Structure 1
């Protein structure tokens, strides 16, 4: 089969959050023929519980792209509608798990953009876990979907260095741009027949899993080391944020610095009530910088201490 122009293949894009918008925008700017955008149904949110559109839907509507929002991906009417579009290729970026009847539909298959160097960090939260585990490097992978999640043949990868002070939010913003550019390169390669699909192997070491982040993941265990807790705070910032308790109230920590020293009892804190608040851990202290006490707004530690009365 001869190579095809990137503008000629019929593409269905599937995604929901802001992370996916960068990829969709890059495809549109590259001249790709996006025949439909599949995203999550509108959901009530906020104080007035008004229906909110996903970031991807807002972008698609703005660009005049047809939008599909099925409740169930196995619904016969939806599947018939999907088939009628005659897509050549489907692209998934931060969407939900697809049934085989969906991902196996187009002749060129379905490709996914994943925020890690697969096979490392398969799962829901690869950006968070790479930082939590103290990795110095991560990346983006484009791959073909198959039965088991995040296990399909690799198309392209690009590495990204992780700074020592980088947060999950900062890495997320960098990765969405790198991923968008890599996706366009992948689609071009598929059209030009220049890509070689490579099966995932475990040659690169243990297959670390990036499981979903739960509340228990975010609770700080002060018996751990300074480095472990510093990485945890970075890896959960700005959302959902690592937390501890201060005077029985939940305290979210968004940024901190670390001090290697001989601390007091793990979990105890020290403060001059003006400029610093630090918590003791296994081999030093975590000095908090940006925090949010239950029922209050996010603020830097100096502003917090100015108005807080310790019990």
Structure 2
């Protein structure tokens, strides 16, 4: 059971293992894009390609869906990046229903663990398989695998690393459940827990008053999706800008020309209180993504640009 590319990668790994896939459950096809044509999830595309039995229920408590689910006679349900399951679903298989979560539970329960781990400046994360229960991401732990977060990682590169580790952890979990060699353990009581709630557009706005580290972590934690954003202003005209990549250097800016944007030596430099932030990849609304060099080469006037934080 799953939806995005992360889940499709895991499904492919199961198909290449000794375990049999008796059915695949994903979301219904949905209108997408300007033409609003029906689009399939990554999991649906793979299931069709591999000629697997595919179920796409609108409602998970639908009696017909539950009957069909039971008829599959699955020993175990595997869930990766899907919806919250009702008890009527997760209690069906005799070996239980387990979820692969992209964090080291109980930290970063929620919809966006990869993004929040980087935004919060973590140096380590990982994946966890756990048995699903009535609450979100609270069930007994089966297996964990750790992954280092480097200073060069963004949400995209970390996603790919966790998908690689995660797909192998799923197979190890299936093997363990098959042989009864895994002992489920309750999640640790760590006291202070860090959450990973769904990220909305307003959450992606850059606060340039924060520290350089926090600004940088936010930009890489939201890249390549959903992407941090801000406004560049020139002669009173505001341009909505997505920022995908950057770097920073701490320095004093004694001239007080804060929030100014300059374009020197093929670099986009923003002067801030703690130093300078250099934007290396960006996208102006309505345009394609560009490197700093290509963006600068396309400018007619390079003077008088500033940040506008009042929008």
State TM-score, norm by structure 1. 0.92
1:80 is the counterpart of 2:71:
no
CA–CA separation in structure 1 for the residues paired with 2:36 and 2:200: 25
CA deviation map 1:172-216 (0-9, x unaligned): 01111110000000000111111011100224x621000111112
1:266–1:282 Cα contact (<8 Å) kept: no
Counterparts of 1:1-311 in structure 2, within 5 Å, are: 14-203=1-190, 206-247=192-233, 248-263=238-253, 268-272=259-263, 275-308=266-299, 309-310=301-302
Measure the CA separation in 2 of the matches of 1:50 and 1:152: 38
Change (3 A) 1:245 1:64: same
Q: Which 10-residue stretch deviates more, 117-126 or 52-61?
A: 52-61
Post-superposition shift, 1:132?
0.4
Residue 82 of structure 1, CA deviation: 1.3
In structure 2, C-alpha distance between the alignment counterparts of 1:219 and 1:163, rounded to whole Å: 23
Unpaired runs of 5+ in structure 2? Answer: 305-311
**Aligned counterparts of 1:193 and 1:173: Cα–Cα separation in 2:** 30
| In structure 2, distance between residues paired with 1:281 and 1:124 | 32
Change beyond 3 A, Cα 1:114–1:274: same
Q: How many angstroms apart in 1 are the aligned matches of 2:294 and 2:211?
A: 27
Partner SS for 1:259? strand
Q: CA contact under 8 A between 1:223 and 1:266: conserved in structure 2? A: no
Q: How far 1:243 moved relative to its partner?
A: 0.9
Between 255-264 and 37-46, report the one with greater CA deviation.
255-264
- Over aligned residue pairs, what C-alpha RMSD do you find? 1.5
Displacement after TM superposition at 1:43 (Å): 1.2
Say whether the 8 Å CA contact 1:269–1:277 is kept in structure 2.
Answer: no
CA contact (8 A) 2:245 2:281 kept: yes
State TM-score, norm by structure 2: 0.92
Confirm or deny: 8 A CA contact 1:222 1:267 kept in the other structure: no
Write the deviation string for residues 144-163 of structure 1: whole angstroms up to 9, x where unpaired. Answer: 00011000000000000001
For 1:175 and 1:291, the matched residues in 2 are separated by 26
The alignment partner of 1:51 has SS state of strand
* Distance in 1 between residues matched to 2:208 and 2:269, nearest whole Å: 12
> Given that residues 107 and 195 in structure 2 are in contact (C-alpha distance below 8 angstroms), is that contact kept between their aligned partners in structure 1?
yes
- Contact conserved, 1:124 with 1:211, CA < 8 A, in 2? yes
Over residues 242-281 of structure 1, what are the superposed CA-to-partner deviations in whole Å (9 max), with x where a residue is unaligned? 1110121111110001110123669612313551212233
Alpha-carbon distance in structure 2 between the residues aligned to 1:184 and 1:298: 38
| 2:23 match: secondary structure | strand
Contact 1:189 1:195 in 2 (8 A): yes
